[in-house]
Amino acid sequence: MSQSIVITSGKGGVGKTTTTANLSTALANTGSSVVAVDADIGLRNLDLLMGLENRIVFNLVDVVKGRCTARQAMIKDKRSPNLFLLPTSQVDDKNAVSPEEMGGLVEELRKGFDYIIIDCPAGIEQGFRNAIAGADRAVVVTTPEVSAVRDADRIIGMLQHHDVPSQLIVNRLSMKMVESGEMMSQEDVVDILAVDLLGVIPEDSEVVVSGNQGVPVVLDTSSEAGAAYSRICRRILGESVPFPDFAEKRGFLTRLFRR
Amino acid sequence: MNISGAERSVEIKGFGGALGLVLDKAAPFEVIESDLRQLLQDTSSRRFFQGSEIVLGPDTRTLSAEEFSKLNQILQEGELELKPLETNGNAARLRKLRATESRGSKADTPTPKADTKPILEEAESEVVPESAAASPQLALPTLETVVPPAENPTPVNQEKSELHPGLNTDSGLIVRQTLRSGQTIKSKHSVIVFGDLNAGAEIESEGDIIVLGTIRGMVHAGISGDATVTVLGLRMQPTQIRIGSYISQPPAEKSGSIVTGPERAFVENGQIVIESQACGPAELIAMLLTFQRRGARSKVASRGSVPAIAVGAIRL
Full DSSP string of A166-219:
EEEEEEEE-HHHHHTTSS--HHHHHHHH-SEEEEEEE--THHHHHHHHT--GGG
Contacts across the A-B interface (CB distance below 8 Å): 45
Give A100→chain B minimum CA distance, Å.
Answer: 9
Q: Where are the domains of chain B?
A: 10-104, 139-315
Q: What is the rounded distance in angstroms from the CA atom of residue B14 to the CA atom of residue A218?
A: 57
- Least confident interval from A205-219, B139-153, B199-213: B139-153
Mean pLDDT of A27-47: 96
CB under 8 A, 24+ apart: contacts of B209-214 = B210/B288, B210/B291, B213/B178
Question: Which residues partner with B19 through β-bridges?
Answer: B14, B54
Q: Where are the domains of chain A?
A: 3-258
pLDDT at residue number B302: 31
B115 contacts A103? CB cut-off 8 A: yes
Q: Which of 3.30.450.20, 3.30.450.70, 3.40.50.300, 3.40.50.11540 is the CATH number of A3-258?
A: 3.40.50.300
Q: Which fold has domain B139-315?
A: Pectate Lyase C-like (2.160.20)
Q: What is the rounded distance in angstroms from the CA atom of residue B1 to the CA atom of residue B10?
A: 12
Mean pLDDT of B259-270: 85
- Between A127 and A257, residue with greater pLDDT: A127
Return the SS3 of A69.
Answer: coil
- Shared fold status for B10-104 and B139-315: no
**Does B126 contact A at CB distance below 8 Å?**
yes
**Does B202 contact A at CB distance below 8 Å?**
no
Which residue in chain A is spatially nearest to B196 when comparing CA positions? A192
Closest residue to B178, CB basis, from A100, A162, A194 = A194
- Between B80 and A232, residue with greater pLDDT: A232
Q: Calculate the average pLDDT of chain A.
A: 93
Please, what is the angle between helix B29-41 and helix B65-77, to 10°? 10
pLDDT at residue number B256: 45
Mean pLDDT of B136-154: 31
What DSSP character marks residue A230? H
Residue A150: list chain B partners with CB under 8 A: 181, 199-200
- Between B261 and A112, residue with greater pLDDT: A112
- Name the interface residues of A facing B (CB cutoff 8 Å): 99-100, 103, 133, 150-151, 153-154, 156-158, 160-163, 192, 194
**Does B216 contact A at CB distance below 8 Å?**
yes
- By CB atoms closer than 10 A (0-12, 13-18, 19+), residue A112 is middle
Q: Which fold has domain B10-104?
A: Alpha-Beta Plaits (3.30.70)
Mean pLDDT of A15-27: 97
Give B81→chain A minimum CA distance, Å.
Answer: 26
pLDDT at residue number B93: 44
169-188 in chain B: CB under 8 A from chain A: 177-183
Return the SS3 of A74.
Answer: coil
Inter-residue contact A143 to A189 (CB < 8 Å): no
Return the SS3 of A3.
Answer: strand
What's the pLDDT tens digit per position in B36-75? Answer: 887 777 766 666 666 666 666 655 666 666 777 777 777 7
**Does B222 contact A at CB distance below 8 Å?**
no
Which residue in chain B is spatially nearest to A164 when comparing CA positions? B115
**Does B89 contact A at CB distance below 8 Å?**
yes
Inter-residue contact B12 to B20 (CB < 8 Å): yes
